Amino acid sequence: MSAAQIIGDWQALVVLFVAGVVPNQIWRMLGLWFGGGIDEGSELLVWVRAVATAILAGVIAQIVVQPPGALASVPDGLRYGAVGAGLVVFLLTRRSIFAGVVAGEVFMLAGKWWLG
């Protein structure tokens, strides 16, 4: 691996700052400054939380549906099957994150091995 790969270019770090660091710190610092007067259970925050959860859900779907890099080498059906198998085990084990993740991974690896 080259030094360029490890360090990268400064433009990418500027993008990280603009699109990553600032959008997160804004909310944390607003919480720090104005936190006292906000009702945690207010209707606005319920909606905000629902939208934020759905955005995260969309990202999860994006990684599975339009996979990056090495994950694209796994056939569609196998990726969906792995998530499905993980979900079933997660629910059966009374919502164990660990069991769900392991089951999904095992399903994917076993499927890859089976398909050759």
Partner 1 sequence: MQARQDSSLFGQAPVALPPLDSPQWQSPWRAFGWGLRSITQTILTLVLFATYLGIGALAHDTHFSLLWALCSTLFVWAGPAQIILITTLGSGATVIQSAIAVTVSAIRLFPMVVSVLPLMRTPTTKRGELFFAAHLTAVTLWVECHRFLPQVPRERRIAFVNGLGFGLVSVCLTANTIGYFLAANLTQTLGAAILLLTPLSFLFSTARNSREVADVVALALGVLLYPLAAKMNSGLDILVSGLVAGTIAYGVHWWREVRA
Residues 45-74 interacting with partner 1 (rule: CB under 8 A): 45-71, 73-74
**CB 88 → partner 1: shortest distance, Å?**
12
Q: Pick from 88, 90, 110, 114: which binds partner 1 (CB under 8 A)? A: 90
Q: Pick from 77, 92, 98, 110: which binds partner 1 (CB under 8 A)? A: 98
Asked whether the beta carbons of 70 and 86 are under 8 A apart, the reply is no
Nearer to partner 1, 48 or 77 (CB): 48
Residue 49: CB atoms within 10 A of its CB come to: 10
CA 41 to chain centroid: 25
80 binds partner 1 per the rule CB under 8 A: no
**CB 3 → partner 1: shortest distance, Å?**
10
Asked whether the beta carbons of 87 and 100 are under 8 A apart, the reply is yes
**CB 102 → partner 1: shortest distance, Å?**
9
Cα separation values, 7 from 1, 3, 13, 18, Å: 11, 6, 10, 18
